[in-house]
Amino acid sequence: MTLTYSIVIPAYNESARIRPTLHALLRHMQEQNWDAEILVVNDGSSDDTAQVVREFGKLHPQVLLVENPGNHGKGYSVRNGMLHARGDICLFTDADLSSPITEAQKLFDALTRGADIAIGSRWLRAELQTERQPLYRQAFGRIFNLVLRVMLGLSFADTQCGFKAFRHAAAQRIFPLQKIERWGFDPEILFLARRAGLRVEEVPVVWAHSEGTRLHPFRDGMRMFVEVLRIRWNAMTGDYAAGAVPSPGKL
């Protein structure tokens, strides 16, 4: 059975934040009369994230739990959720809803205008940020963005915003090729989209920095730089041409 929308949420130890997020999503889905599913991808959490989602699922069958085989990272989780998604439009969003779900219509409108992928941006209209990142994180973001322009030819103002929507066909074309499983997966999927000739539209969205984020700008920043080199290497060696479909986790 196909649906109009699939909402994918990667989750690692999110039992505190996932409750209000699911409440907000379900309320908005009801208000908008969406034919939709919510897929929470549990990335080997050590808290009761999975149990919370199961409890929601008993009352709301549109809430589904997808289990990763252990802890593999945000990129793996998003890919796993997208490969399970049945919606004509597939959106992934962070568990804290840094961009409120009411902003999703902006991405959906971009798809209606002909885009294959619509990505939320915190920097096309910075005044939409209701709570900005600390200055050191902003500086890291600017440097990383420059690296992506030079190394991968990505000219987007913001590749890392965790709020992106895909036509189902585009998701099924891109995510089976994805190889980066942690924080550096965003530029990889955009790089793959460009290689595939897909149209990507960047859309300014309301966004608020969350203090609960687990991204360490220096440690994870170095890993992300290494992952950018991996993307370039994979492209040079033809790894993306093979595109073996990864095995999805449990649903």
pLDDT (tens digit per residue) in 24-56:
999 999 999 999 999 999 999 999 999 999 999
Domain 3-242 has CATH 3.90.550.10: yes
> 3-state class of 86 per DSSP?
coil
Is residue 8 within 8 A of residue 90, CB to CB? The reply is yes
Q: Which long-range contacts (CB under 8 A, 24 or more apart) does 128-137 make?
A: 128/204, 128/205, 128/206, 128/207, 129/206, 129/207, 129/208, 129/209, 130/206, 130/207, 130/208, 131/208, 131/209, 132/209, 133/209, 134/209, 136/217, 137/209, 137/217
pLDDT at 169: 97
- Average pLDDT of the residues of the chain: 89
Q: Tell me the pLDDT band of 123, cut-offs 50, 70 and 90.
A: confident
For residue 222, pLDDT over 80 is answered with no
Rounded alpha-carbon distances, angstroms, from residue 198 to 100, 190, 193: 26, 9, 5
pTM over cut 0.85? yes
pLDDT at 197: 96
pLDDT at 207: 87
Average pLDDT score over residue span 105-116 = 98
- In the numeric block, which tokens belong to residue 230? 């991996």
Q: Tell me the pLDDT band of 162, cut-offs 50, 70 and 90.
A: very high
Location of structure tokens 């890919």:
79
- In the numeric block, which tokens belong to residue 173? 């074309």
Q: How do strand 63-67 and strand 129-131 relate by DSSP bridges? A: unpaired
For residue 242, pLDDT over 60 is answered with no
Residue 233 phi/psi, 5-degree rounding, is -65, -45
pLDDT at 132: 61
pLDDT digits (tens, 9 = 90+) for 172-191: 999 999 999 987 899 999 99
pLDDT digits (tens, 9 = 90+) for 63-103: 999 999 999 999 999 999 999 999 999 999 999 999 999 99
pLDDT digits (tens, 9 = 90+) for 21-31: 999 999 999 99
Residue 106 phi/psi, 5-degree rounding, is -60, -40
